[in-house]
Structure 1
Amino acid sequence: MATKKKSTPHISASPRTVLPGSEKSAFVQTADEKPAPSGTRITVSVVVRRKTPLKAANRTGKQRLTHAQYKKNHGADPAAVKLVRTFAKEFGLTVAPDTPGPERRTLKLIGTIAAMQKAFGVTLVHKNHEGTTYRVREGSITLPSELVGPIEAVLGLDNRPQAQPHFRIAGEAGDITANIAQAGGFAHPHASGANTSYSPIQVAQLYQFPANATAAGQTIGIIELGGGYKTTDLTTYFKSLGQKAPKVKTVSVDGGKNSPSNANSADGEVMLDIEVAAAVAPGANIVVYFTPNTDQGFIDAIATAVHDTTNKPSVISISWGGPESSWTAQAMTALDAACQSAAALGITITVAAGDNGSTDGLTDGQNHVDFPASSPHVLACGGTKLEASGSSISSEVVWNELTNNEGATGGGVSNFFPLPSWQANSNVPAPTNSAGGRGVPDVSGDADPSTGYIIRVDGKNMVIGGTSAVAPLWAGLIAVANAQNGTSAGFIQPAIYAAKGKAAFNDITSGTNYSGSPTGFTAGPGWDACTGLGSPIGTKLITVVNPSSTSSAKSKGSKKKPIRKRAAKKSPISRGKPSRSR
């Protein structure tokens, strides 16, 4: 007699377990809350575990991997992918045709709101905030028990805004241009009367970036969660600098697009990032990854850039972020994992540390750091106030205009990420939460709008500051370093925190990043939680971050390329003394 074949138990019948770190805080309370339409179809990103975890030597860049090696050994666990596909089928979800390759460790699942709610044990509602309706989930995600572990994060059920750009426009309080530019709530005009402003080239000169060196052959990736750029603005701007306009390419992630409108948007952020990075790294290609302002979009964009084997960015600049407390633990872990992958692949990521001082703009009486700047696998960039005498720095202190409600550099101690080994001797203050310890920022640069950057946005020249300017400034410097050294700098923290790294920085020892209570942080000799190690001395920094200078970080098969130089050009903006804004 034939034996009956045992049926495989359905995943959908398994007991459910909370997905660790998926707790989502409550959104704004509104009177017009409504259930999300059950038939609406949405796409979520499911991040699965690696086939093999990255080694510590990979995460700190000591043992770099090629993209092929990474994909083979550290991409998605095939068993986890199989489980997710089975799970999706049982709950009426489909795998999107454009789901990424295994190196991304992300499966995109499509389904109705009703199916998503059942699959992930959530309730999705529509809430209106400041005229915009968002799809919101509150509380935790639950999964069949056997999927907890194989699945590390589920992103996209909730599409509330995740981050803010970190730029501020200088201008007198009554300045129409500045006020219009801030109408989107992204920044605040700087009200000081007589401000110094610089072209990005002048800032680079003050920080001793190598004269006339190029970043030819390098690609700088820029992550943008809104706004856009106009090619005509770039052409006009770089002509005024006496430079050739950069080649700028856009990549759409999760439907994000280059959407320039007017100064009433995040265009100021996009133009600041492109113009600063390209001006200080002439010859570099620029690739802008546009994505929606959600945790799903943010993480998908970084992962897309890190694994982009077509454009191959060697450095990625990020000027968006938000307080750690505004993120779910699963989202921070997933984003940090993408940054670990960048370190393993020899890609540097620079991130703005925030513009709201030690509290990061929160009013709970506590200090907070901005994420993703607090990820230990990115270069967190704080802000200074830079003053010059001729071609030399005459004064540089912590950027702090909080008493005038005009911002200050972010900085402090993470409550989520532990103290990294390379910061062990930096006297980082104790975290509020014992699980934390990572000090922010790592480095700094000019950010005060009163000593800001001359930038062209939507047909107008304006002066912009904020730590949003510092991330692309450092990205440009790293691109120049990569071109000069003939190999990518990759994860630079171990090198810059080493004893020899001190000579590559202007140590900022004056200023604080707080006003009133709570007490924040004070600058002092060496690393501090206002300006990190300090602002760069470009030529020395390039030598320090050369991985070929230490055998432990030497990249196999890399050959030093000759330094390419361009003819020196003077321009109305870059010639002579810094300009004075009226």
Structure 2
Amino acid sequence: MTKQPVSGTDKIHPEGAKCIGACDPGEQIEVVVMLRRKDAEGFRQMMARIDAGEAPAQSVSREEFDKRFGASDEDVEKIKQFAAQYGLAVVRADPSTRSVVLKGSIDAFQKAFDVKLERFQHHNIGEYRGRTGPVNVPDDIHDAVTAVLGLDSKPQARPHFRFRPPFKPLRGVTPASFSPVDLARLYAFPDSDGAGECIAIVELGGGYRDSDLSAYFSKLGVKAPNVVAVSVDSAKNAPTGNPNGPDGEVTLDIEIAGAVAPGARIAVYFAPNSDAGFVDAVNRAIHDNTNKPSVVSISWGGPESNWSSQSISAFNDVLQSAAALGVTVCAASGDSGSSDGVGDGADHVDFPASSPYVLGCGGTSVTATAQGITQEVVWNDGDQGGAGGGGVSGVFALPAWQTGLQVARAGGRQTPLAKRGVPDVAGDASPITGYEVLIDGDDTVVGGTSAVAPLWAALIARINAINGSPSGFVNPKLYKAAAAFRDITKGDNGSFAAASGWDACTGLGSPDGGKIAAALAPAAGHARVKASQ
């Protein structure tokens, strides 16, 4: 049987990774095989209308989407036969998410996909399972397979949150802290508790404790939201008791979203921290017919340069599905400024925030009184304190709704934006002016763009509840509504500077919630698609 490589599967190992030995051939692992869409041409035409802002927020119902754009039964059956041939078990085969999860020994997967799996060590991410060579599949399924994820276990993303540092802040900034309710008021969020909506939160480790949540919302005087944990690929809500680890991310995401939209259901999707887990979590969330989220909050990510082209392509394909289904996806733009923490002296942006189908959420530093915000600048607390991620994608083309924009660079030079610019929007992110949260029993103050993603997700949930319909893919509408933002014109994130209008530090700016709601009001004739929503 002849085999061909799956496009984009030339593996990228992080610089400094060293092979330290063979894997146990008998070790059991799970791998996600992604499949092509039925009616790919119909989907391409629909996405062209969505990209141009010409389609209703929810272009098709979930039921119609699955029928037209899921995987074919024939392709799923081919993968099942392929699995049986190599002694691999089918854990889940789901045409709607176009994914088949296979389980088996490392030895069986090496033979099935003609790869060599070995153990690697890296100074930053520790030990992981990696592979050598492209992933190969038999000729008869090659056209059907778009990605094979999970053969390697390299941690794909990091959480984008930061605790308030113990050192003295730069530029004489006076430390302050806000509850999420305070920030919703300062940003003039419209009156709503998000009732009837579901906010999906994607997490790649750690967990939350019910005791933290009940104590936090009780202290705030806010009705505790309904929080449900959803297991993806065997991961689950598993708090470690260490607030400095992923527990901090999980808990602050829930507390921020829940405080701002307490009437919404909060569905937390726990997945392994790998490209397979990350992609599968978002895919499962947008196709979840039980919880039916209308908005997804993602506070994890990694530099585009750390992703294989296969992984980015598979993830972006899922994000396109979200846009078609009317699900808004908010993602943190990163906490390491214009370098995104890569350390090679070049500029980098964070993915998935850099996807053109995501609302990339950048960071500011806020000074406020009881009367309102008195100053808001780009979040940049220096090397120790972090800075908002932003810049120009090295992967994605310039979206139609960013055409004609300029990139302001530190030092004053402006150049035309040539590819996807990040972020799109911003909000308070500096730990010096951070969010009051309760993590693993401790009251603390946190910042990071990971706080901005759930803040914006909760704003979208409020607006969806008011409209009785999803806002959907909001980027084209928001770029036509510059007056709905507080324009941030001071500061830089390293290589890029704030400027009038859009910039690569804070995007369009921070929200004027009522004006954002007006900008996202359903257009006449764009009625809600009721079937199976």
Is the TM-score greater than 0.5?
yes
Residue matched to 1:124: 117
Alignment of 1:243-282 (within 5 A): 243-260=222-239, 261-282=241-262
What SS does the aligned partner of 2:71 have? coil
CA distance in 2, matches of 1:427, 1:554: 35
Residue matched to 2:460: 478
Residue matched to 2:508: 533
Residue matched to 1:410: 389
Letter in 2 for 1:455: V
Task: Give 1:486 shift.
Answer: 1.2
Residue matched to 1:109: 102
Alignment of 1:547-558 (within 5 A): 548-551=522-525, 553-556=526-529
**Alpha-carbon distance change, 284 to 21 in structure 1, aligned in 2, over 3 angstroms:** same
**Alpha-carbon distance change, 550 to 449 in structure 1, aligned in 2, over 3 angstroms:** farther
What SS does the aligned partner of 1:468 have? helix
**Alpha-carbon distance change, 405 to 56 in structure 1, aligned in 2, over 3 angstroms:** farther
Task: Give 1:343 shift.
Answer: 0.9
Letter in 2 for 1:277: A
Letter in 1 for 2:61: T
CA distance in 2, matches of 1:35, 1:364: 30
Residue matched to 1:564: none
Residue matched to 2:412: none
2:134 is equivalent to residue 159 of structure 1? no
* 1:523-560 deviation line (CA, Å, top 9, x unaligned): 111111111110000011011112x2344x443459xx
2:33 is equivalent to residue 46 of structure 1? yes
Is the 1:453–1:463 Cα contact (8 Å) retained in structure 2? yes
Residue matched to 1:439: 421
Task: Give 1:311 shift.
Answer: 0.6
**Alpha-carbon distance change, 365 to 129 in structure 1, aligned in 2, over 3 angstroms:** closer
Residue matched to 1:203: 183
Is the 2:187–2:513 Cα contact (8 Å) retained in structure 1? yes
Residue matched to 1:576: none
Task: Give 1:428 shift.
Answer: 5.2
2:355 is equivalent to residue 396 of structure 1? no
Residue matched to 1:565: none
Is the 1:410–1:530 Cα contact (8 Å) retained in structure 2? yes
Unaligned runs of 5+ in 2: 410-415
Is the 1:51–1:78 Cα contact (8 Å) retained in structure 2? no
* Percent of residue pairs bearing the same amino acid type: 48
Structure with greater strand percent: 2
Residue matched to 1:22: 9
What SS does the aligned partner of 1:488 have? coil
CA distance in 2, matches of 1:440, 1:455: 27
Is the 1:25–1:139 Cα contact (8 Å) retained in structure 2? no
CA distance in 1, matches of 2:120, 2:154: 9
Residue matched to 1:517: none
Letter in 1 for 2:80: R
Is the 1:205–1:391 Cα contact (8 Å) retained in structure 2? no
Task: Give 1:194 shift.
Answer: 4.9
What SS does the aligned partner of 2:459 have? helix
Residue matched to 1:577: none
Letter in 2 for 1:151: V
Q: 1:348 aligns with which of 314, 318, 328?
A: 328
**Residue-pair matches, total:** 515
**Alpha-carbon distance change, 146 to 348 in structure 1, aligned in 2, over 3 angstroms:** same
2:130 is equivalent to residue 150 of structure 1? no
Letter in 2 for 1:34: G
Alignment of 1:140-539 (within 5 A): 140-173=134-167, 194-211=174-191, 213-260=192-239, 261-402=241-382, 404-427=383-406, 437-498=419-480, 501-514=481-494, 520-539=495-514
CA distance in 2, matches of 1:128, 1:171: 30
**Alpha-carbon distance change, 544 to 31 in structure 1, aligned in 2, over 3 angstroms:** closer
Runs of 4+ in 1 over 6 A off after TM superposition: 189-193
CA distance in 1, matches of 2:296, 2:85: 39
Is the 2:14–2:306 Cα contact (8 Å) retained in structure 1? no
* 1:116-160 deviation line (CA, Å, top 9, x unaligned): 111112111123456954211134212234433311100110011
CA distance in 1, matches of 2:25, 2:271: 25
Task: Give 1:435 shift.
Answer: 13
Task: Give 1:113 shift.
Answer: 1.0
Task: Give 1:406 shift.
Answer: 1.3
Is the 2:61–2:530 Cα contact (8 Å) retained in structure 1? no
Deviates more, 1:373-382 or 1:76-85: 76-85
Q: 1:86 aligns with which of 67, 77, 81?
A: 81
CA distance in 1, matches of 2:205, 2:129: 18
* 1:184-212 deviation line (CA, Å, top 9, x unaligned): xxxxx99989511111111111100124x
Is the 2:156–2:307 Cα contact (8 Å) retained in structure 1? yes
What SS does the aligned partner of 2:143 have? coil
What SS does the aligned partner of 1:464 have? strand
Residue matched to 2:129: 135
**Alpha-carbon distance change, 526 to 27 in structure 1, aligned in 2, over 3 angstroms:** closer
Residue matched to 1:55: 44
CA distance in 1, matches of 2:487, 2:17: 48
Is the 1:173–1:191 Cα contact (8 Å) retained in structure 2? no
Larger radius of gyration: 1
**Alpha-carbon distance change, 313 to 192 in structure 1, aligned in 2, over 3 angstroms:** farther
What SS does the aligned partner of 2:280 have? helix
**Alpha-carbon distance change, 190 to 282 in structure 1, aligned in 2, over 3 angstroms:** farther
What SS does the aligned partner of 2:385 have? coil
* 1:43-72 deviation line (CA, Å, top 9, x unaligned): 100001001122343454715111110110
Task: Give 1:29 shift.
Answer: 5.5
**Alpha-carbon distance change, 191 to 228 in structure 1, aligned in 2, over 3 angstroms:** farther
Letter in 2 for 1:47: M
CA distance in 2, matches of 1:497, 1:128: 43
Letter in 1 for 2:523: S
Deviates more, 1:328-337 or 1:82-91: 82-91
What SS does the aligned partner of 1:513 have? coil
CA distance in 2, matches of 1:133, 1:28: 14
**Alpha-carbon distance change, 223 to 191 in structure 1, aligned in 2, over 3 angstroms:** farther
Deviates more, 1:60-69 or 1:536-545: 60-69
**Alpha-carbon distance change, 193 to 209 in structure 1, aligned in 2, over 3 angstroms:** closer
What SS does the aligned partner of 2:292 have? coil
CA distance in 2, matches of 1:52, 1:488: 25
**Alpha-carbon distance change, 234 to 121 in structure 1, aligned in 2, over 3 angstroms:** same
Is the 2:408–2:499 Cα contact (8 Å) retained in structure 1? no
Task: Give 1:443 shift.
Answer: 0.4
Letter in 2 for 1:136: G
**Alpha-carbon distance change, 148 to 366 in structure 1, aligned in 2, over 3 angstroms:** farther
Is the 1:220–1:286 Cα contact (8 Å) retained in structure 2? yes
**Alpha-carbon distance change, 490 to 193 in structure 1, aligned in 2, over 3 angstroms:** closer
| Alignment TM-score, normalising by the size of structure 2 | 0.92
* 1:405-456 deviation line (CA, Å, top 9, x unaligned): 21110011111111111111323589xxx99811110100000111100010
CA distance in 2, matches of 1:419, 1:305: 27
